[in-house]
Chains A and B, each alone.
Chain A
Amino acid sequence: MTDTLTPVLTDTWDAERSWTLESYLAHGGYEGLRAALAQDPADVVQAVKDSGLRGRGGAGFPTGMKWGFLPAPDGGPRYLVVNADESEPGTCKDIPLMLASPQHLIEGVAITSYAIGCHHAFIYVRGEVLHVYRRLLAAVAEAYDAGYLGTDIQGSGFDLEVTVHAGAGAYICGEETALLDSLEGKRGQPRLKPPFPAVAGLYARPTVVNNVESIASVPGIMAKGADWFASMGTEKSQGHGLFSLSGHVTRPGQFEAPLGITLRELLDLAGGVREGHELKFWTPGGSSTPIFTAEHLDVPLDYESVGAAGSMLGTRALQVFDETTCVVRAVSRWTDFYAHESCGKCTPCREGTYWLKQVLHRIEAGEGTGPDIDLLLDLCDNILGRAFCALGDGATSPITSSIQYFREEYEAHLDGRGCPFDPARSTLFDDTPQAPPALAGAGGHR
């Protein structure tokens, strides 16, 4: 089974002090940058195009093509902005990556900047993950000291400054234009497009905004070749990707595998759904992607197949829920999240999530009535595709998909009946007796 995995970004996570430059270099780090600097920038862009790398932030837009959208250089600055504002419920790939191996990202930033002619790159990190922010700062400092950033990188004559910026903790700032506004010091709200960031992004200059994992995948492509990368995955979804299993699985964690792997295979690697339980529903790519059920265990997790099955590959955040979980409760919590994180700019998302939240809370408490389920569906219809950005769309996905698969469960809540589940049963600490952690006891969590 181990053959299924393709550890590239995760390869060194078990190394001693894997986050250090020393450790990264000992495992072949910065080979990609050396290879890139020996080439013409246009060739680097072409290689990334050839590799078939698609955006790993969720939308799956071809990365090389995105770089190609930048207008011809006009002598003014061009920017690379790395979207490290990972905030989606269930999504937990970029943060572990930056924690365990930040140099992957930094090398990718250097290569990408070289390819697109950028001399000042920004990494916008979600503000709450202070430990990651500090680790990134340290990693950037190490890279500067070693001459992988700064002026005349590795004697190539290429200069690059990298700024790590901590956001203030807003999901909306994962939307690329809201991120740019936030980075400019404004309220994070999505911008009107066009102009697209490639034309007028950060400080109204041509800007590439890429996800952490997309950028971190670039060094491997440069070091081992586009063909190597393209040899993994499926025809249209090439390469490796991080699959984050969480929830009711025996061994949750990051599984780096070629795109196109199935949840069944991943569950085998992760030791299956927790002992004595069975899969009820799962998200293929975070809470914004319509949920799947056990019937989708064999859907290949690539952009096309997941799309064809009615959801989105998203961020490959596979949240697994067993039969102890109340789907209404889960969806209600997600909806709370969207209501809390809606930026407020547009009516459907701002008011819609506020309303959805109240209806779901009502249903969960047994105060819902028959028409409420159709009301939820109609509200979702009035939000989906009507909102300014994708946040509103994402808020509707768990609701519509859960009603699609579990309508009876919703109905079971109505008319004073309330939730038929015991929420304690779905908790991990209640159901799976474990040895006390080593540091448990007085002061263990200091």
Chain B
Amino acid sequence: MTATTDKSTDAVPVETVTCTIDEIEVTVPKGTLVIRAAEQVGIEIPRFCDHPLLEPAGACRQCLVEVAMPDREGNLRPMPKPQASCTMTVTPGMVVKTQRTSAVADKAQEGVMELLLMNHPLDCPVCDKGGECPLQNQAMKNGRATSRFADVKRTFPKPIQVSSQVLLDRERCVLCQRCTRFSEEIAGDEFIALQERGAHQQVGRFDEQVLHFAPPCAGDHGAGGRAAPGPVDIPLGIAQPDASGQPFASYFSGNTVQICPVGALTGASYRFRARPFDLVSSPSIAEHDSCGSAIRIDHRRGKVMRRLAGDDPAVNEEWITDKDRFAFTWQSAPDRITTPLVREDGELRPASWVEALEVAAQGLAAARADGGVGVLPGGRLTVEDAFAWSRFARTVLRTDDVDQRARVHSVEESAFLAHAVAGTGVGVTFADLEAAPAVLLAGLEAEEEAGVTFLRLRKAVRAGARVFSVAPFRSRGLARLDGTLLPTAPGTEADWLTTLATQAAGDLVPAGADRETLEDVAGALGQEGAVVLVGERLAAAPGAYTAALRLAEATGARIAWIPRRAGERGGVEAGLLPGLLPGGRPLVDEDARAQVAAEWGVAVEDLPDTPGLDTDGILDALSVGQLTGALVGGLELADLPDPVHARRALGAARFIVSLEVRRTEATELADVVLPVAPPVERAGSYWNWEGRVRSFGRALESSALPDHRVLDALAAQLDVDLGVAEPLAAHRAVAAFGAWKGARAQAPQAGAPEPPAVSAGTAVLASWHLMLDDGALQDGEEHLAGTAKRPVARVSAVTAAGFDVFDGDRVTVSTDRGSITVPVAITEMVDHVVWLPMASRGCRVHEDLGARPGEAVRIAPAEKGDDA
């Protein structure tokens, strides 16, 4: 190699180096580790600590190989010792000999393996990992047949319960540090660390017993006059203290169980439940958020035993959230609906499909003729289903009163989605986030609402990206992104976005604005590759979507919308919004209507031509009898902004058909209930927030029918052929629409009204869903539920002082509708704002308060006996 290095950065082809491994020449990008280069030519070097997504450690020494390198004169010089191939990068002309061609490497690996097994309990017959264990497999491949160790093994007492979900058996641990490195590098939840040394080294929590520390004296805390931090982000269930001394709470700890190369870390729900060789594995896509994470479903005799992260470098890499991993029992819950139900004499009774479809068709036809049918499909549909729902609504029910949003929504949001999201294809991707120099989050708490997106942002931050968040306080997630908070009272997100857009456009910003921050953020977002991520919660902030678009335009940053539910992006594509036809075609556009009519095989005049009602409008119309029928999908009334009103509205409807997996409030109000298949029992696709189609196959044999098939049959009863009875046909129906080349829907032009004044005794409500809460899709998994955060009310010190409450006191947040009593956590945050988790156990904001974020609520110290 010469000393000249060409440092031109413009998209030069990747610089490569060539080396020889076991006499095979391989050319790899510069900086590739020897162990990776060997993989390229199909040579597997045994390893434990090495993991492609973690930084090299070189701790286990299992991957030793012989290496020779040319010196300055070009003579090959063997290195005196075997080298760890997981820490050494390939250099030009390097000659590597692995265990296949080198006796030295082979003996070194055998030696290390013998040492690793020496203190290992060898309890494979009772270990969960047995049968899929890298230690077991590599010991068989690269180890000695017998051990010479005849001495005393190191032992530990049986497992440490790290959390209600994760257990740690220390004696099985080979101290590869994958779990500790994952926690530190990937999730940022440091909870277990190495302690002690030598053979006593162990992974564990900070343990005074292990470390022989005296426990901290009582009364030490707060001696300096500082109050101890409030009880925030504390899990409901049992948990060991993490590195900060707080009970361990993580949404990603299940990944450590999966990457543990031995059986040291196990999941409580799978422990001792199955053997890997009895399991059938089906690749799938997680249904819990809009990230579209690849997962693997392991099932045995028709029952799902566990779920693992799939390996998809483009989307979730090899990580998933604990919700994606552990929350699957809802699909086989005892309240699954297994047959169609028909209401007779006020009671639902089982019925045949033939009867139920007939009754449903007649009822819908009658309602269609008498005021019309409102369609509420819910936000969790596959895209195949979403297209079927969209077509059913427009061609069978001949209505545009269709809206998938079972949450706070707005007309401005519909316009934003039609203008900036629908039919845009793959936009900002995970890879774009990783490469972005700056990311602004608005109305989005990435860790809670889009878990693996948070991990990818964290990866970007570790590479130097900056994250800004328009939110009322700096959450633990934002802190772990090293993010900058742009403090905002809920409902006024538009202020920051507008001012930033003004700053970026070079216009005059309002007096009194924080110029330094504005310049900093606008400058960062002006960089090539910057991204603005907006969440569905901006619907509660008038003018915010409008301002976000202006900001993106002014800075040149790309914008992406990240909803919470898995089906919403696909629903936007399918036109499950009033005024929006598939592929981003505006309903009011004649060409668009003509294209859709042609594709659906109906006359153009049979399609609705005026935008219909959104969810709020449909419920209002039902409650006053303007609409008389409802077709309802996977929808929980408690998720709606005003569940009481929704119950009244559906109660007033003359005829309701519900397509559901399990019994819900909606099915209890329905006249006909048609059971549909949960994701595990069907094939389908989600469109994740990137716009990427995430298809999955059916994992379990089942006779349950997907929505599209049920709708196809129902349409047939009403003499319409949807042509989507078969999964393949349904899938093709999605692709049938080409891109819309016509004018896009108008951008929203909403202004931001002055926020309401906060009167004495009240505060503005801020709220979002925590990843783990009281959601129906987490039902039946108590180990997981134990890792959910305890609900607290967050207020600033100033706000708390105004209500005379102290950190940890119980407060009652109330409206005329009802109240919620939870402990208060003093938080550095915007004054006169109170934050509550949206739908945690004992804290259902919409249900209990009937309030939306941005509205005023009353706060008072809890009276004795108020404790819920």
CB of B152 closer than 8 Å to a CB of A: yes
Residue interface mask A340-357, B partner, CB < 8 A = 1 = 111111111011111100
CB of B6 closer than 8 Å to a CB of A: no
Q: Are B198 and A344 touching (Cβ within 8 A)?
A: yes
* Bound CA span A189–B59, Å: 11
Q: Are A355 and B149 touching (Cβ within 8 A)?
A: yes
Q: Are B108 and A386 touching (Cβ within 8 A)?
A: yes
Q: Are B111 and A344 touching (Cβ within 8 A)?
A: no
Q: Are B115 and A339 touching (Cβ within 8 A)?
A: no
CB of B175 closer than 8 Å to a CB of A: yes
With A351-B119, A355-B118, A385-B82 as given contacts, are A339 and B199 in contact (CB-CB < 8 Å)? yes
Residue interface mask B41-64, A partner, CB < 8 A = 1 = 000000000000000111111101
Chain B positions 264-296 with a Cβ under 8 Å from a chain A Cβ: none
**16 additional contacts (CB under 8 A) given A346-B60, A383-B111:** A341-B198, A342-B198, A342-B199, A344-B200, A345-B175, A347-B59, A347-B175, A348-B115, A350-B199, A354-B118, A354-B119, A355-B115, A355-B118, A355-B149, A386-B82, A387-B61
Contacts of B149 in A (CB 8 A): 355
* Bound CA span A424–B495, Å: 85
Q: Are B174 and A347 touching (Cβ within 8 A)?
A: yes
Q: Are A343 and B148 touching (Cβ within 8 A)?
A: no
Q: Are B198 and A350 touching (Cβ within 8 A)?
A: yes
* Bound CA span A333–B186, Å: 43
How far in angstroms is the closest Cβ of chain B from A62?
19
Chain A positions 352-404 with a Cβ under 8 Å from a chain B Cβ: 352-355, 358-359, 362, 371, 375, 378-379, 381-383, 385-388
Contacts of A187 in B (CB 8 A): 193-195
How far in angstroms is the closest Cβ of chain B from A33?
38
Chain B contacts to A: CB under 8 angstroms: 56-62, 64, 80-82, 87, 107-108, 111-112, 114-116, 118-119, 148-149, 151-152, 154, 174-175, 193-201
Contacts of B174 in A (CB 8 A): 347
* Bound CA span A288–B149, Å: 25
Q: Are A351 and B151 touching (Cβ within 8 A)?
A: no
* Bound CA span A252–B33, Å: 51
Contacts of A351 in B (CB 8 A): 115-116, 118-119, 199
Contacts of B114 in A (CB 8 A): 382
Q: Are B197 and A358 touching (Cβ within 8 A)?
A: no
CB of A263 closer than 8 Å to a CB of B: no
Contacts of B151 in A (CB 8 A): 355, 358-359, 362
* Bound CA span A189–B87, Å: 16
Q: Are B194 and A386 touching (Cβ within 8 A)?
A: no
Contacts of B194 in A (CB 8 A): 187, 189, 344
* Bound CA span A345–B201, Å: 8
Q: Are A347 and B112 touching (Cβ within 8 A)?
A: yes
Q: Are A388 and B118 touching (Cβ within 8 A)?
A: no
Contacts of A345 in B (CB 8 A): 59, 175, 201
CB of A279 closer than 8 Å to a CB of B: no
CB of A192 closer than 8 Å to a CB of B: yes
Q: What would 9 A/B residue contacts be, using CB atoms closer than 8 Å?
A: A340-B198, A341-B197, A342-B199, A343-B198, A347-B116, A351-B118, A354-B118, A386-B61, A387-B61
CB of A327 closer than 8 Å to a CB of B: no
With A351-B116, A354-B154 as given contacts, are A342 and B82 in contact (CB-CB < 8 Å)? no
How far in angstroms is the closest Cβ of chain A from B123?
18
CB of A170 closer than 8 Å to a CB of B: yes
Q: Are A192 and B112 touching (Cβ within 8 A)?
A: no
Contacts of B108 in A (CB 8 A): 382, 386
Residue interface mask A398-426, B partner, CB < 8 A = 1 = 00000000000000000000000000000
Contacts of A341 in B (CB 8 A): 197-198
How far in angstroms is the closest Cβ of chain B from A53?
26
How far in angstroms is the closest Cβ of chain A from B250?
21
Q: Are B111 and A348 touching (Cβ within 8 A)?
A: yes
Residue of A nearest to B104 (CB): A385
Q: Are A354 and B59 touching (Cβ within 8 A)?
A: no
Q: Are A347 and B82 touching (Cβ within 8 A)?
A: no
> Which residue from B87, B107, B152, B197 sits with its C-beta under 8 Å from A343?
B197
* Bound CA span A405–B771, Å: 67
Contacts of A362 in B (CB 8 A): 151
With A347-B60, A359-B151 as given contacts, are A352 and B115 in contact (CB-CB < 8 Å)? yes
Contacts of B82 in A (CB 8 A): 385-386
Ranked 6 nearest A-B pairs via Cβ: A344-B201, A382-B111, A385-B81, A351-B115, A358-B151, A354-B199
Chain A positions 182-228 with a Cβ under 8 Å from a chain B Cβ: 187, 189, 192
Most buried by A among B59, B111, B114, B198: B198
